[in-house]
A and B are shown apart, each in its own frame.
Chain A
Amino acid sequence: MVFLKTAWHALKKRWHTLTDTRYFWPIFLMAGLAFCVAVDTFGFVDLYLQLILIYLGINIILTVSLNLINGYMGEFSVGHAGFMAVGAYVASLLTVHGLPAGVSVNFFFPLAILVGGVAAALVGFLVAIPSFKTRGDYLAIVTLAFCMIVKSVLENIDAVGGPRGLLGMEKLTTLPWVFFWTVLSLWVIRNLVYSNFGRGILSIREDEIASDLMSVNSRQVKIIAFVVSSFFAGIAGGLFAHALQFINPRMFDILKSTDVLIMVYLGGIASISGSIIGASIYTILLEILRPLGVWRMVLMPLMLVLLMIFRPHGIMGMREARLFTPLRDLATEKLWRQKKEGAPDATP
């Protein structure tokens, strides 16, 4: 046992010296992108598996962006599917009806996704406003209402197909694009969390009154959190629409939000690595358990119940893998050691 433990620690140390270099992420990400492009071009991974990977990426984007609100900021939003719907519809309308003449749809696609994200971010800005006054359960009701409003508005606009939905999108969501947007969302949200604004977001979770009294502009912080979160939900919506090539309002109801909530609380609140783990387990397990049919919908919630009993914060709740901690945050530790060694004697 002792031997195993030392071996494990040695391995962990090796791993950390590898990941703590500034070259680790660039090389790893380049390799990942190269792999995705290769899969997309030569198709040596079968299409079913590719589709699962695409959904996995989309789910990671959704999970990490909802984690910003529910995990880091400690609010309870159930409106994530609403933001996703806005992104999905805007991006789809652009590629189906808004394609400028003479432009290849392949080039237009990233722009359409981006506009979908921006549209969702604008809606997120509006939803942030009631969050100034309401908290906890009340904000959950507000976001629930928001989700229902989006759904019924979409159902009643004939131009977007009403309840029948929208089709005619080309299959533009490819593995490299999903990889790109997933990495971008993780990177942006990590950077945000490990900044002044991120600390503001965390302080709102801990004690909103105290944070206001410590000069945190809580309105500004909430707006930033909601805008960033809904932006990426919109991006995920756009990617989802162009992977499935068909959307209707029913896809974006409260159940979709629940899926994302499960992934957040499964992986762990307030954790980037947790978001990835949660989304991966949920997406892959649902596929593996497919042969079980209806029983899979009994097994998954059962797993969740057990998790809540034994690990209420989720697998990686309130913790972060060193891999996802910015190097400069690790440098803080070094600064602290230096100060301790060379610190002049302080008065009481």
Chain B
Amino acid sequence: MIGPIGVSVSAGFMENYAIGWRGGFTLRWLAEVWSAYGSTVMASITIASATVFTTILIAVPCAYALARSKKAWALWFEELITLPVAVPGLASALALILVYGELRWFRQHLAFILVGHVIFTLPFMVRVVAAAFRRRELLAIEEVAATLGASFWQRFSGLLLPAVLPSILSGALMVFTLSIGEFNLTWMLHTPLTRTLPVGLADSYASMRIEIGSAYTFVFLIVVLPMLWLMQLSERVLVKRYA
């Protein structure tokens, strides 16, 4: 599992991959990656953060409504919003282009990729948070608060939100991870001005020297892995404190 990662990282620092280390060590490829693809790092972080923000904003109220509804349509709705995960991203992206591809400003904006990522990650957030809202003890506490005269907003912001915060956090971590590595939708949705990390990677593999591809892969790992570890760590600490 680890072998290919090692080969890829070391090849990014070789003068020539075909010769190996005898060719010498260089940072030239790294510099070239930075000048050609540096912008993709920020684009990916921006999109992933915006995706997390948007999914929290729309999924949390939705999850609450679904969790408190006993009607059949709630299950049906949950099923429906999960479809973008069951259907290949390629199909969802094609569909988006067919309808919105003509809107130039939208097509050429990062927001076009953002809506794709939101649609794809929404079910993860909704399901995680809805499961937390459905916990029986939470239902009981909420009923007590309601009988004591707490208004809906008092209950929602003072009682329910803090109680499901750990689940929102683990949902956020999942959404961030999915968004930063997403390629299937993103490759179809991107334009030369809106490129994310995985899109840039694919472009460099197809059109650049193998050493540049390796150096870029190294950049991806060095940017993404510590970020994911840090988020995992903070999630674990927070969940331990609040759960």
Q: Do A and B come from one complex?
A: no
By a beta-carbon cutoff of 8 Å, the part of chain B in contact with chain A is: none
